[in-house]
Amino acid sequence: MESPAAGLTFRDATDADVDALVALIESAYRGDSSRAGWTTEADILEGRRTDPEGVLEVIKSPESRLLAVEQGGRIIACCQLEHRGDHAYFGMFAVSPTLQGAGLGKKVMAEAERQVREAWGVTEMHMTVISVRDDLIAWYERRGYRRTGKMSPFPYGDERFGIPQRGDLQFELLVKKLG
């Protein structure tokens, strides 16, 4: 069996990647296809996770990059990296559901952390995670991120972020010191 890291290419996404990236992100978080992986949000959010405009905005922003991870010419993972002064923000993280659980996510995160240290000289990576996602938060904690207890409200009523299936959603800030 081929290693999940075999033949990986990391590159900045381009306009031509938007449709593939939207499909990847949607497949990792929403609907029945997301249930093949463990990062699904299908039970807490319906509707869209992102749209072509949101992905293109990240690609075009001068302070942001969308890192695309390819294997065999196909985008199988991605993440947003945004320069925010003394730290970087990590978001829009998606791994193809059928490839989850094999170590690919760890490799993507390690490369993202390496790139922001080298490119921007930042010493911390920040991210926000829906606070009820205990399994996902625990995974990030095993990667060295720590819970801060700092919460921000979920954008109820803004369907660009999905249609909540429960009333207690909020985002928690997670932080990792980069060596």
Residues 141-168: pLDDT tens digits? 999 999 999 999 887 777 666 666 667 8
- 13 in Cβ contact with 68 (< 8 Å): yes
Task: Return the residue matching tokens 């290693």.
Answer: 3
Distance separating alpha carbons of residues 90 and 6, to the nearest angstrom: 24
Burial class (CB in 10 A: 0-12, 13-18, 19+), 149: exposed
Closest to 51 in 3D by CA, of 164, 163, 156, 161 = 161
pLDDT of 110-138, one tens digit each? 999 999 999 999 999 999 998 888 888 99
- 131 in Cβ contact with 172 (< 8 Å): yes
The CATH architecture to which 8-177 belongs is 3-Layer(aba) Sandwich (3.40)
pLDDT at 40 over 90: no
pLDDT of 61-96, one tens digit each? 999 999 999 999 999 999 999 999 999 999 989 999
Determine how many CB atoms are found less than 10 A away from the CB of residue 150: 12
